[in-house]
Structure 1
């Protein structure tokens, strides 16, 4: 799934379990962290663009270093070290990483039904245990778009009710303006009914 969907999964699923803005941000970022093993795509693109010897770092490393139990433990430990309520942050970060794995297992197939991505759960130490699902949705399929729209709708609905949105992770001031605008629109829509 896309990074936006991964972010929304972490926000909708786990942000209410965190008390402070910092801990919310750490848990949401933990759910995005597994995809750092896919940054080889930047080098692959650069080598092709500049006519250098081709590399294939994305295919070689994506889902090999960030998408397994060792990475989940490391990310949770790092989250705990950075968090305010360490135990809670560590547990939620561990869950957030696993939600990322689940999303990838469900919705990151390529263009053909044979082009599925599995997760080597013990990687990089072992590739003996692969988790996969033959019914995987296409990465750009309608299912992933629907999941994203539903999660975004929940996040916006909660923003009007709770008074904050994921934008609060970046700027409290911008979030205040954003939520006020959402509430204004919601109020205007309710008067028109």
Structure 2
């Protein structure tokens, strides 16, 4: 699981607004293809590899997120909502409007040459600031449905800054691939490695053979 997270986060360093970076749009399209996912599975090894093995751009640091909320909803008729909202870091831009609304600091989600962003992601040329461009975000509101029937299988999302991707993908894999219940998947200890920095974090209760 950790090794696959590294591949996913490594690709994140190459993504950006597809309207400005055609290569990023092409990568985003490929990442949803079974052939692309299979190619990454074939490269998985049981031990950690050098950073260059995963692709992407290496960096360091890893602060916490305190400005994001997520709501998942599913009713008896099959209507679903997966919504993530954020002001990014503590108190957003530290500016409050006359109505009491705290403005966000989503500009931090852009890359600045030679500098990491607030969550430790490396500067990526595909995510440099350009007028009108949208910054990269780790927010991952998902509605998963059966390809043929259209029946909704899961509604997922999370807060946590750079940990959102691993927090969302872990229960999805455990439920859809390992046939666990939602409760079992959510209660299971978390593992996280965002590639930049290449440091693995794990909660207490993780079996020794998984660490």
Q: What TM-score do the two structures reach when normalised by structure 1?
A: 0.28
Q: Which has the higher strand share?
A: 2
Q: What TM-score do the two structures reach when normalised by structure 2?
A: 0.27
Q: Which has the higher helix share?
A: 1
